[in-house]
Amino acid sequence: MATKRDYYEVLGVNKDASAEEIKKSYRKLAMKHHPDRNPDNPKAEENFKEAKEAYEMLSDDQKRAAYDQYGHAGVEQGAGAGGFGGAGFGDAFGDIFGDIFGGGRSGGQGNKVFRGADLRYNMEVSLEDAAKGTETKIRIPVQSTCETCHGSGARPGTQPVSCSTCGGHGQVRMQQGFFSVQQTCPKCHGSGKMVKDPCPTCHGAGRTKQNKTLSVKIPAGVDEGDRIRLSGEGEAGVNGGPTGDLYVVIHLKEHPMFQREGGNLHCEMPISFSTAALGGEIEVPTLDGSAKMKVPAETQTGAVFRLRGKGIKPLRQSEYGDLMVHVVVETPVKLTTRQKEILREFDESTQADSGKHSPKSKSWLDKAKGFFE
């Protein structure tokens, strides 16, 4: 009979190795020498069995102590080298494939808790409220902890019982040949508990839908798409898990006068033909009332004037934006006969030197002439 190798040598660890180091080394060897991964290599199966036997001995504190004192003779009867059973093997190999398939171990603990879902509330805010800030109330439907059973799901005076399928662990181990995979219990869905006598209010769910009224503070300077987080105002957790959060998403209402661009505001301001030609002073609307603005003589339509500090101070910025006034020269309508005569006389008086009085028109005509020629 061949002499067995030292178990520490088989796993490649020192005699003072910790339990975690022993498990880590075995997992590597098990993955490397598993027969399913080496179907044409008989030596691999021998190495696999050897590593498995070494792990079974050294992962058990009592067996390891006996082996350290007496060697192979101290554990000869309990070695069990011929099979693939054994709790130590199943636990370690289950860890390996739990890592591969993303299944975390429960550590034998049932009654898993789950965080409640986050909620989103879309809130429309006027430009004025977004600029200055406000406080408002909202009403939202949420899943809250049942007040009758306090979240247990069981009728008052009774308690949930351990799941008969997983024994209260919340997970079951599926064995397929050499593979052992740990999965969430299909009966209790990982909670580890079953409700035999459901609560009459929530029917065993532990939560009920309620309408909740909340006060929301809108800080000054919020903009389209900004989110306000209300911690713990989402849906209730499961099995005592933490409550989710509520996110209030800001949407700006369309304003009849202004368009917002970051901290700047834009508005279109009509002016008369005479004001554009001769210049003057006009009143411009702002979020704080009105402001006076000088229009220089010979102003053309489309000109943009900046009123500094008349915009909005964005959230997380220290300075106010500006108000951009886009001037539009308004064409007179519903003219009287005399007004029309005056305009014709004016037009005839400017025709003699149109290049001087209408520089843009002359420039455009010159370009058009060059294009057609």
222-277 pLDDT, tens digit each: 999 999 999 999 888 877 778 899 999 999 999 999 999 999 999 999 999 899 99
Most confident listed range (7-11, 13-17, 223-227, 367-371): 223-227
Asked if residue 2 is part of any domain, the answer here is no
Both 241 and 124 in a single domain? yes
Both 152 and 165 in a single domain? no
Of residues 312, 317, 300, the one with CA closest to residue 359: 300
CA distances from 165 to 77, 154, 159, 189 (A): 34, 19, 18, 11
**Residue 363, pLDDT score:** 63
Both 55 and 73 in a single domain? yes
Residue 318 has pLDDT above 80, yes or no: yes
Q: Higher pLDDT residue, 176 or 16?
A: 16
DSSP assignment string, 306-356: EETT-S---TT-SS---EEEEEEEPPP-S--HHHHHHHHHHHHHHHTTHHH
Mean pLDDT of the chain: 81
Task: Tell me which residue range forms the domain holding 238.
Answer: 119-156+203-252
Of residues 202, 89, 110, 185, the one with CA closest to residue 150: 202
Query: What are the tokens at 300?
Result: 């053309």
Residue 323 has pLDDT above 60, yes or no: yes
CATH for 137: 2.60.260.20
Both 272 and 321 in a single domain? yes
Asked if residue 235 is part of any domain, the answer here is yes
Alpha-carbon distance of 246 to 119, in angstroms, equals 5
Asked if residue 347 is part of any domain, the answer here is yes
51-108 pLDDT, tens digit each: 888 888 888 888 888 777 777 766 664 444 333 334 344 444 444 444 433 343 433 4
Total number of domains constituting the chain: 5
136 — pLDDT class (breaks 50, 70, 90)? very high
Both 151 and 166 in a single domain? no
